[in-house]
Structure 1
């Protein structure tokens, strides 16, 4: 006699009540399904338990006395890579898309959870279960807005698929890992990207209008290792704006509260992570966390140029100086921002040290945000690795 899983009995709540994390909801999509039954344990903003889940996903938790573990999470290896033959229209060279296509074509999986754009708005995410290379390619390029990737989980169960690849960011993957055993899968592969500072669609519009010379033609953008925001426009032109010249006063509140309380920049629970934060400019940073991640990377290894990760410079002074600048919403003239950008590019942190710079800066900002706005959550919500990183700096008084 079959037993109906408990989550199938979850009642559909009215829309206004389907966000148990309230203001901290990252719109991951879990609560749009009957897997909302598990939200108390699954939501990264209700229950933070990355260390315990690292053991389940990777066989161990990170070694806090080992610098690379402390910052970048459990891993077997990391490298810098780029495709020998880039995919046209990809945000970088198309490593993520290539892995997903190979997984599908070689029969490793029956479907790939990824995110296409709405037909009416290039920045409006539309999660799908891709079953063809064409559908995967249609999902290339990041959508820098909150995205309900997990809203397709009920479709996965109804489809009868047993082998699945999910592409997602940290908060989505923590929720996915929590309900993984309820999905009825024989094998789940998780391909993650680092993630920080997402926005609502309205927040994105404000950012574009405040920062870009032509917001209506922006195809995608990224905060890059050269300390500039790179905007790619419809005509292929690349517009660069130095970090130091952003209108901090206007943009300080544009990022989602969930992103301001997140401490999983590096996507700790994915099998394989592909981003840029720990690689030299022009390369992607690839982190293999476990044997499943290695299996995925092996599928495209012969299609990549690779090199060892590198690290140079010292981030600490820049991070410490940046605390007060952000707190005070300091905005400097653009000509000075370009001068600072030029100097920092010559002598500033690069490679893994740039990654540490970004992690330090965001963890400190987010720690202060939680301390000021959710003091009752501070102790339980901030992971031990983040507390150790933040403790290296002098913070402003409450």
Structure 2
């Protein structure tokens, strides 16, 4: 019976397979999902460090259930199931409409990166009690963000935007800094907080992981009832070497960086108000390795996908995908919390939507091609 049980375990993908296929290839995104939702959590089979990622403490304690393997965003074993459940269609997933929109709330506009649509949508959903909380990320330093569960509209203001303006001096740059926030780890706490209707704002890999958890009925992923997905070409990892590289490419000191934004390219705003545009190739070398293997730019499985690409300055490109996404967008617009870009006529509006679709599709294809090259290497 022991030998038979061992054989059954060997027939199931486990953390050792994840180690070989993802970690050993340098493709781990440090989301923490594998360790956070390990079935053997109380037996201390896996441990997680944000710098080094997950590692196996005891193979004897591993239940060989396969959950850590399946929910990893770099593993594509559940692609077909996720696509079927969420109605994916090429080239950028299923959607109902694509618009350029912006917040009408002055206090949101002051702190947002693009048009403030994400913050105003979530504020509306909280005010109407459609959700009880919003799992977002907030800045804790110029190159660091942390997960944050906002339960009131005003708390969302603290998390808005992607600004590098809180710390005047970076100090210890021997430590690692990242623009990526490990939000997935926070999902596990939702059951303990007794929150059953929560929104999640995340990168494509984070939204995809949640969708895989929902396909597998892993609790408390059912608490995530609304997702806003960020357009994402890549996130950046910063250490001493990356700091030197970035300063060389920018021709300025990192302490002088006030704001980072990504639209058609990488946009840096200095504390003196100077705006610098960089092609993605100029910062690819400081991108997280996991991002180079990710094929999803447009956050195909979110309820609403957002980014600055294609829209005028001060507006958010908004891809409305699900019925709930449409309901919240319409509700916030009716409440005059957001407004769409006025284009003066059906033909101009149609042309604008066409241009948005073309740009999103172009970036999506570019990221997919990069991912294929990464996996082929």
TM-score clears 0.5 = yes
Deviations 1:163-190 (A, max 9, x none): 1111111111111122233334466111
Question: Does the CA contact (< 8 Å) of 1:18 and 1:31 recur in 2?
Answer: no
Query: Match for residue 204 of structure 2?
Result: 170
Question: Does the CA contact (< 8 Å) of 2:135 and 2:147 recur in 1?
Answer: yes
Query: Match for residue 241 of structure 1?
Result: 277
Deviation for aligned residue 1:356: 3.1
Partners of 1:282 and 1:93 in 2: how far apart?
A: 5
Matched, 1:355 2:360: yes
Partners of 1:296 and 1:28 in 2: how far apart?
A: 28
- Check 1:190–1:312 CA distance in 2 against 1; reply closer, same or farther (3 A cut): closer
TM-score, normalised with respect to structure 2: 0.71
Query: Match for residue 150 of structure 1?
Result: 184
Query: Match for residue 96 of structure 2?
Result: 76
Deviation for aligned residue 1:38: 2.2
Q: CA RMSD in A?
A: 2.9
Question: Does the CA contact (< 8 Å) of 1:278 and 1:285 recur in 2?
Answer: yes
How many residues are aligned here?
Answer: 303
SS in 1 for 2:142: strand
Mark the runs of 5 or more structure 1 residues left unpaired by the alignment: 1-12, 63-69, 314-349, 373-398
SS in 2 for 1:148: coil
Q: 1:255 aligns with which of 258, 272, 287?
A: 287
Deviations 1:309-367 (A, max 9, x none): 64699xxxxxxxxxxxxxxxxxxxxxxxxxxxxxxxxxxxx533333332333332332
Partners of 2:105 and 2:370 in 1: how far apart?
A: 38
- Check 1:277–1:48 CA distance in 2 against 1; reply closer, same or farther (3 A cut): farther
Instruction: Name whichever of 160-169 and 351-360 sits farther off.
Output: 351-360
Deviation for aligned residue 1:35: 4.5
In terms of fraction of residues, the more helix-rich structure is: 1
Partners of 2:246 and 2:331 in 1: how far apart?
A: 37
Question: Does the CA contact (< 8 Å) of 1:190 and 1:271 recur in 2?
Answer: yes
What pairs with 1:77-96 in structure 2 (closer than 5 Å)? 77-86=97-106, 87=108, 88-96=110-118
What pairs with 1:18-167 in structure 2 (closer than 5 Å)? 21-22=22-23, 23-35=26-38, 38-57=67-86, 60-62=87-89, 70-86=90-106, 87=108, 88-118=110-140, 121-142=141-162, 145-167=179-201
- Check 1:276–1:257 CA distance in 2 against 1; reply closer, same or farther (3 A cut): same
Query: Match for residue 4 of structure 1?
Result: none
SS in 2 for 1:133: coil
Query: Match for residue 219 of structure 1?
Result: 258
Query: Match for residue 44 of structure 2?
Result: none
- Check 1:29–1:137 CA distance in 2 against 1; reply closer, same or farther (3 A cut): farther
- Check 1:44–1:99 CA distance in 2 against 1; reply closer, same or farther (3 A cut): same
Deviation for aligned residue 1:136: 1.4
Mark the runs of 5 or more structure 2 residues left unpaired by the alignment: 1-14, 40-65, 164-177, 342-348
Partners of 1:20 and 1:368 in 2: how far apart?
A: 16
Deviations 1:122-166 (A, max 9, x none): 321110211122321111123772221011122111111111111
Partners of 2:262 and 2:224 in 1: how far apart?
A: 34
Matched, 1:210 2:248: yes
Deviations 1:189-218 (A, max 9, x none): 111111111122327635542333342132
Query: Match for residue 183 of structure 1?
Result: 219
Deviation for aligned residue 1:100: 1.3
Question: Does the CA contact (< 8 Å) of 1:311 and 1:353 recur in 2?
Answer: no
Partners of 1:232 and 1:109 in 2: how far apart?
A: 34
Q: 2:303 aligns with which of 264, 268, 271?
A: 271
- Check 1:106–1:312 CA distance in 2 against 1; reply closer, same or farther (3 A cut): closer
Deviation for aligned residue 1:300: 1.6
